[in-house]
């Protein structure tokens, strides 16, 4: 029997089984993944670039590849898909530039206006020259002027700037522009009036995606946006695999740091090019990200985030020089990493709260930032509680038989006729489907419950009369799309295990919500607003989310999708020192609840595994709907 | 006529003229300079190491030298004296290790006790481990404890320490010692209780000499002292030549910085070895030095110190990480460079004031730190004025025909019989004399005036009847030691030009004193104390100093020799935060008077050229003495 080779494509996480001697390019076609090509796979155009980490399972680099790839690139694992033949099971990363029609994952988020008061400011200065009657040292001369003209006191100067100060001032004929960071450090002195060239960069390092806003700090407006897949993905799709990789010791943690920095530099480059901004005019970067990304970027030992009791190294914001990390903004530019709340409630969560403004309102809000870990907040201006739920990657397509990320070819919306069991779906990019993404899974579970294909336990109805219900190895599956409809020419189905994965994920989130609400003594009816943040959130059907018990049963108009509020939070602290102070207060004030030690956790979780819940009175609208169906 | 080659030996500044094909080793013997040797100049022992900067004027490196010197050393200009043949005039540096019986220049100074309160402190800490009920981040756990136990607030942590913090705390089983710098930055966390290992280094970078004290910061006691010639001397003996060298551009300034740092590291190594201190237990270095040395060490553009109006870059103290400069103390250790007062009144001068304590007394003090530039201070607790006098290097032996530094073989004391003109002298090391140093020149001028060998104008008495008075090229010289008395078998004389050099030097200093006294409205009789600082000062005869008009005519008991107060000032700011604050206040408060623009400068200087002064009423004790002689 001939050996079959499994090829896994990242970042989709899509798998395909191919015959030996099949090229990666062909495998991608079979998997329905679009890879760029001009020559059609002849090895002449050089467009089908891929990255293979484990070089031992593929053929040697060919001459054709050497003409299109530099030695540095091949050393880093770059290959051409059409010239690469796997010898064993393999994981292949398809970089952004090689992808056809990749849909941008949600990269923007809700923004709340803040008064413009950035941490970096510029001052145009003209000084009198020294004379024998006025021999003040250069720096003192500058300080005296800044104190007199702008009331700036207790200023320091970056040592690198001080070294060159005597030459800079004289070469500029004492007409120059001073850049002051954090209210007290002079980080640049430039000849002439450059006060209008003042930009910042707000970054969110997501586990999957790095997003950056280049912001004009004279106006507070976003000049341009860049985003890429987080290149750390080659060392694990989820946080725990990457921590495990870093724990292997040696320089592994530095590898992750370097990848995060390279990712930020790529985003920076993209955004600067689009916005026509010189990266040397960017003086500060603010960074949000979950605690693991935070530790990776700063090369802080992340091991103990993965080991009980999951303690992070630091809570306070971190200020470092950009060049210390290797971020290619102005050479004396600074990095401000937002503070964190707890081990699994990170700097991104601080951004969520800041952007949603739940801390400024008397209204009681529930905020969920849905991801592999879902952060939940309940509270208002008086007090906010937070927790982290291990919701898992099911909504990102992992652990789901035909699951995939929300990229081109993913089914994103599903409707099932309760009478005929016929399926209607929409795919991202309006192409033939390859698999289904998280928002489709929410629809599928809701629609299957409405159609009685599954019951409250999530179990398939064995008596269903439809050809869409199949059994594979005696396990039931429901066919969403037949072979002739799909790009892969294989059926796309939903299995019993898929339903169970979604049950686990939504139960984890709902348990977080209900424990926080109980601790805060908030009832469902007391909730004034529900915010759903995160890339996934924006595409889900809120009715279906309630129907499967993912969020509490509140009127739909109370549900707000706020998108990537981590990056907008980073933007807020970039443009406003007051917001920065608020972020620091929030990191101390928001109380973290450790779900694992809550006495009600097991019971709440077990009950939430039902669809929507064991206690249907908690979901009156779903109860009513189901009763109508009876 | 055969070519004669001049060899100049540094740091003595001693010159000798030799026949071609004479080795440096032989030339040193002729100059009376002791160079180490075991083989007597056969090229086999490798002890007679010298440094030659200009390789183009010497022979190629020989095989014998290659067996004793590394390639790196020969690249840096190291050679063996016995194998090196100059082809043209040449300057040779004899490093400390190759010298025989070199006398240590004054390296210690007056110390005033200060309450022990160093800027680096250690705290032994035992923390409870994190649990699921106490998941505080590591750094927060530490901060909470330091706040509770010691009232320490608003602490920051060095980013390098933070990175490793999770591992350090757990490897130490939560029993560790924290080092806090500057009251707010955690720069080290070490396993166990290391609180008794806490040292600092106080450094004075003199133009000629670098001196360092290793200080036990638990007791405030000096553990050991190290000192070396300033290795920058190979790029010029005086400040202006080094600035000129640095102005040549390129990496020249960095060369001077590197030499200063290497010098500090050598002093550190010597002192640590002597005191049995581990350099990793040194957490802070405080540095005094004149403004040029300050700029060289920090690689701050020094050009404008040498160009009117002579403005330095900065007045404030500078704090940098030791590793940024390359100083090899604890890896996260800090450097504190004392503040300066003005272009030619540097961080060393701040140390002088601090150590002498003139700012704390109601008594009126005059303080002179004598060097190539002499800093003068007049004042008391109410107000202090300062100025800098271009006294020149005559007192260090330069520009004096048989002048040399105060090292072995230098005549240091001289008496001349007014009747017979016979000369008595003492040499450093009680060896045959090679030349004469600054303190001898003070004696010589005073004794020659007393003996009427010279007059008030400094002119030789042409009618003197003694064989010691000679004429060379029709210019008179006075013979101090005959050929048969000296190590060089050549006469040691004092020339008319030598006397004039001393007149210029002492006139410059006295003009500084009198202008400051006039500005401060202080008369000679109002002076309560006169402090003389600097390496040279300690060896001069105070009566003779007054006699030639170098210092005002005050009772001798008011004159205090305080030695190297720059390094003791650096020690004070190392052991006491209060002294550090005082240094910063002094740098702002001490007023700088620019002599060059004082309307009385020319007249005062011209009058001070007389010996002791044109206005003898200003020197009543000298006047009386001279009248007695009449």
Query: pLDDT at residue A111 above 90?
Result: no
Q: Which percentage of chain A shows pLDDT scores above 70?
A: 98
In a shared domain, residues A388 and A402: no
The helix/strand count (H/E) of chain A reads as 17, 27
Could you tell me the two tokens for B557? 């008991």
Distance from CA of B571 to the nearest CA of A (A): 24
In a shared domain, residues B523 and B617: yes
- Nearest CA-CA partner of A337 in B185, B187, B159, B155: B159
Q: Is B115 on the interface with A (CB under 8 A)?
A: no
Q: What is the pLDDT of residue B371?
A: 86
Higher pLDDT, A464 or A317: A317
Number of residue pairs across A and B with CB atoms under 8 Å?
Answer: 138
Average pLDDT (A410-418) is 94
Helix axes A438-450, A620-629, angle to 10 degrees: 50
In a shared domain, residues B458 and B566: no
Distance (Å, whole) CA A331 – CA A500 = 52
Average pLDDT (B393-421) is 89
Banded pLDDT at B106 (limits 50, 70, 90): low
Q: Give tens-digit pLDDT for A548-581.
A: 999 999 999 999 999 999 999 999 999 999 999 9
Please indicate whether, in this complex, the C-beta atoms of B165 and A314 are within 8 angstroms of each other.
yes
DSSP class of A86: B
Q: Is B604 on the interface with A (CB under 8 A)?
A: no
Could you tell me the two tokens for A595? 């779900």
Window 138-157 of A: residues touching B by CB (8 A cutoff) are: 138-141, 157
Query: pLDDT at residue A46 above 60?
Result: yes
Q: With beta carbons under 8 A apart, name residues in chain B contacting A320.
A: 159
Query: pLDDT at residue B104 above 70?
Result: no
Nearest-by-CA chain A residue for B167: A301
Please indicate whether, in this complex, the C-beta atoms of B135 and A313 are within 8 angstroms of each other.
no
In a shared domain, residues A433 and A295: no
Distance (Å, whole) CA B115 – CA B109 = 18
Task: Say if A206 falls within a structural domain.
Answer: yes
Of A132, A157, A165, the CB nearest to B597: A132
- As to burial, measured by CB atoms within 10 angstroms (0-12 exposed, 13-18 middle, 19+ buried), residue A236 is middle
ipTM: 0.83
Neighbours of A241 (CB within 10 A): 14
- Nearest CA-CA partner of A511 in A400, A342, A355, A378: A378
Task: Say if B183 falls within a structural domain.
Answer: yes
Please indicate whether, in this complex, the C-beta atoms of A165 and B133 are within 8 angstroms of each other.
no
- Whether the upstream peptide bond of residue A11 has omega within 30° of 0, thus cis, is yes
Distance (Å, whole) CA B137 – CA A315 = 6
Higher pLDDT, B22 or A95: B22
Banded pLDDT at B73 (limits 50, 70, 90): confident
Task: Say if B214 falls within a structural domain.
Answer: no
Please indicate whether, in this complex, the C-beta atoms of B313 and A139 are within 8 angstroms of each other.
yes
Least confident of A549-553, B152-156, B230-234: B230-234
Q: What is the pLDDT of residue A101?
A: 54
Banded pLDDT at A528 (limits 50, 70, 90): very high
Distance (Å, whole) CA A51 – CA A72 = 13
Distance (Å, whole) CA B25 – CA B44 = 13
Q: Is A417 on the interface with B (CB under 8 A)?
A: no
DSSP class of A11: T
| Cα-Cα-Cα-Cα dihedral sign, residues B249, B251, B257, B260 | negative
C-alpha dist (Å) from residue B87 to B6, B55, B57, B146: 10, 10, 5, 67
Task: Say if A345 falls within a structural domain.
Answer: no
Distance (Å, whole) CA A204 – CA A533 = 13
Q: With beta carbons under 8 A apart, name residues in chain A contacting B294.
A: none
CATH label of the domain that carries residue B21: 3.10.20.30
In a shared domain, residues B435 and B508: no
- Helix locations, B300-407, DSSP H: 322-325, 347-356
Average pLDDT (B250-269) is 95
* Number of domains comprising chain A: 5
Q: Is A136 on the interface with B (CB under 8 A)?
A: yes
CATH label of the domain that carries residue B152: 3.10.20.880
Q: Is B298 on the interface with A (CB under 8 A)?
A: yes
Q: What is the pLDDT of residue B105?
A: 54
Nearest-by-CA chain A residue for B136: A311
Distance from CA of A602 to the nearest CA of B (A): 16
Average pLDDT (A584-605) is 95
Banded pLDDT at B101 (limits 50, 70, 90): low
Instruction: Annotate A70-101 with DSSP letters as a single string.
Output: -HHHHHTTEEEGGG--BSS-EEEE--GGGBSS
CB A362 within 8 A of CB A458: no
Neighbours of A24 (CB within 10 A): 26
CB A340 within 8 A of CB A352: no
Query: pLDDT at residue A100 above 70?
Result: no
Higher pLDDT, A538 or A434: A434
Please indicate whether, in this complex, the C-beta atoms of B133 and A594 are within 8 angstroms of each other.
yes
The helix/strand count (H/E) of chain B reads as 17, 27
Q: What is the DSSP pairing of strand B209-216 with strand B199-205?
A: antiparallel
Task: Say if A128 falls within a structural domain.
Answer: yes
In a shared domain, residues A425 and A446: yes
Average pLDDT (B280-285) is 98
Distance (Å, whole) CA A630 – CA B386 = 100
Last residue of a domain, one of B191, B218, B237: B191
Task: Say if B363 falls within a structural domain.
Answer: yes
Q: With beta carbons under 8 A apart, name residues in chain A contacting B324.
A: 159
Q: Is B308 on the interface with A (CB under 8 A)?
A: yes
Distance (Å, whole) CA A547 – CA A128 = 72
Last residue of a domain, one of B41, B64, B98: B98
Q: Is A412 helix (H, G, I), strand (E, B) or coil?
A: strand
Q: Is B55 helix (H, G, I), strand (E, B) or coil?
A: helix
Distance from CA of A132 to the nearest CA of B (A): 5
Higher pLDDT, A549 or B241: A549
In a shared domain, residues A12 and A80: yes
In a shared domain, residues A150 and A217: no
CATH label of the domain that carries residue B516: 3.30.420
Mean pLDDT, chain A, integer: 92
Banded pLDDT at B187 (limits 50, 70, 90): very high
In a shared domain, residues B623 and B540: yes
CATH label of the domain that carries residue A322: 3.30.420.480
In a shared domain, residues B515 and B602: yes
In a shared domain, residues B385 and B518: yes
Of B134, B163, B597, the CB nearest to A299: B163
Query: pLDDT at residue B37 above 50?
Result: yes
Instruction: Annotate A199-222 with DSSP letters as a single string.
Output: EEEEEEE-SSEEEEEEEETTT--E
Least confident of A23-32, B314-323, B329-338: A23-32
Query: pLDDT at residue B1 above 60?
Result: no
- Nearest CA-CA partner of B334 in A254, A300, A154, A159: A159
Residue span of the structural domain in which B180 resides:
120-191
Banded pLDDT at B98 (limits 50, 70, 90): confident
Task: Say if B389 falls within a structural domain.
Answer: yes
DSSP class of B556: G
- As to burial, measured by CB atoms within 10 angstroms (0-12 exposed, 13-18 middle, 19+ buried), residue B72 is exposed
The residue among A311, A588, A589, A594 with the most chain B CBs within 10 A of its CB, best to mutate, is A311
Query: pLDDT at residue B103 above 60?
Result: no
Q: What is the pLDDT of residue B107?
A: 66
Please indicate whether, in this complex, the C-beta atoms of A340 and B308 are within 8 angstroms of each other.
no
Please indicate whether, in this complex, the C-beta atoms of B594 and A132 are within 8 angstroms of each other.
yes
Q: Is A473 on the interface with B (CB under 8 A)?
A: no
Nearest-by-CA chain A residue for B321: A159
Q: With beta carbons under 8 A apart, name residues in chain A contacting B157.
A: 314
In a shared domain, residues B58 and B186: no
Banded pLDDT at A104 (limits 50, 70, 90): very low
Q: Is B576 helix (H, G, I), strand (E, B) or coil?
A: strand
Could you tell me the two tokens for B259? 């030499």
Last residue of a domain, one of B160, B191, B222: B191
Task: Say if A111 falls within a structural domain.
Answer: no
Q: Is A300 on the interface with B (CB under 8 A)?
A: yes
Q: Is A172 on the interface with B (CB under 8 A)?
A: no
- Nearest CA-CA partner of A318 in A339, A302, A334, A301: A339
Distance (Å, whole) CA B503 – CA B608 = 8
Could you tell me the two tokens for B168? 């350090």
Average pLDDT (A365-379) is 94
Mean pLDDT, chain B, integer: 92
Query: pLDDT at residue A39 above 80?
Result: no
């Amino acid at each position: 029997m001939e050996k079959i080779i499994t090829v896994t494509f990242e970042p989709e996480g899509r798998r395909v089984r191919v015959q030996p001697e099949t090229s990666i390019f062909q495998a991608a076609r079979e998997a329905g993944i679009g890879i760029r090509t001009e020559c059609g796979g002849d090895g002449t155009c050089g467009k089908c670039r891929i990255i293979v980490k484990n070089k031992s399972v593929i053929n040697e680099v060919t001459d054709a590849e050497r003409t299109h790839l530099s030695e540095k690139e091949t050393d880093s694992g770059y290959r051409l898909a059409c010239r690469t033949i796997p010898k064993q099971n393999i994981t292949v990363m398809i970089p952004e530039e090689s992808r056809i029609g990749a849909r941008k994952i949600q990269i923007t988020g809700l923004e709340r206006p803040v008064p413009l008061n950035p941490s970096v400011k510029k001052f145009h200065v003209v000084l009198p020259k020294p004379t024998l009657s006025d021999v003040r040292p250069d720096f003192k001369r500058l300080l005296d002027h800044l104190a007199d003209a702008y009331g700036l006191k207790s200023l320091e100067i970056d040592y690198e700037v001080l070294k060159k100060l005597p030459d800079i001032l004289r070469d500029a004929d004492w007409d120059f522009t001073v850049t002051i960071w954090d209210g007290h450090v002079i980080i640049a002195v430039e000849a002439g009036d450059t006060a209008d060239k003042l930009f910042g960069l707000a970054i969110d390092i997501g586990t999957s995606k790095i997003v950056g806003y280049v912001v004009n700090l004279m106006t507070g407006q976003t000049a341009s946006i860049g985003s890429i897949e987080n290149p750390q993905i080659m060392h694990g799709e989820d946080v725990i695999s990457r921590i495990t990789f870093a724990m292997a010791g040696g320089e592994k943690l530095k590898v992750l740091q370097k990848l995060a920095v390279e990712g930020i530099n790529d985003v920076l480059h993209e955004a600067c090019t689009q916005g026509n901004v010189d990266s040397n005019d960017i003086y500060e970067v603010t960074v949000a990200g979950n605690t693991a990304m935070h530790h990776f970027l700063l090369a802080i030992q992340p091991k103990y985030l993965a080991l009980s009791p999951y303690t992070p190294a630091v809570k306070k914001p971190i200020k470092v020089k950009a060049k210390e990390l290797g971020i290619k903004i102005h050479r004396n530019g600074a990095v401000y990493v937002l503070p964190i709340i707890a081990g699994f409630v990170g700097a991104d969560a601080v951004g969520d709260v800041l952007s949603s403004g739940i801390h400024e309102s008397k209204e009681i809000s529930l905020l969920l930032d849905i991801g592999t870990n879902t952060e939940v907040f309940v509270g208002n201006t008086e007090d906010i509680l937070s927790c982290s739920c291990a919701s898992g990657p099911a909504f990102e397509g992992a652990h789901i038989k035909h699951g995939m990320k929300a990229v081109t070819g993913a089914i994103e919306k599903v409707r099932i006729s309760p009478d005929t069991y016929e399926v209607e779906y929409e795919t991202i990019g309006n192409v033939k489907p390859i698999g289904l993404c998280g928002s489709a899974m929410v629809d599928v579970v809701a629609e299957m419950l409405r159609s009685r294909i599954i019951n409250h336990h999530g179990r398939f109805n064995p008596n269903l009369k439809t050809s869409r219900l199949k059994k594979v190895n005696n396990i039931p599956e429901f066919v969403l799309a037949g072979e002739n409809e799909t790009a892969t020419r294989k059926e796309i189905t939903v299995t019993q295990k898929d339903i169970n994965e979604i049950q686990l994920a939504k139960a984890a989130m709902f348990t977080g919500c209900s424990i926080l609400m109980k601790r805060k003594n908030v009832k469902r009816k007391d909730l004034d607003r529900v915010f759903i943040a995160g890339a996934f959130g924006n595409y889900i059907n809120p009715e279906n989310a309630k129907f499967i018990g993912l969020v509490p049963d509140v009127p739909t108009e109370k549900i707000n999708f706020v998108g990537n509020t981590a990056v907008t939070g980073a933007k807020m602290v970039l443009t406003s020192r007051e917001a920065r102070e608020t972020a620091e207060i929030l990191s101390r004030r928001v109380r973290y609840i450790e779900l694992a030690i809550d006495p009600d956790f097991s019971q709440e979780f077990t009950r939430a595994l039902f669809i929507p819940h064991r206690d249907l009175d908690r979901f009156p609208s779903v109860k009513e709907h189901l009763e109508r169906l009876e």
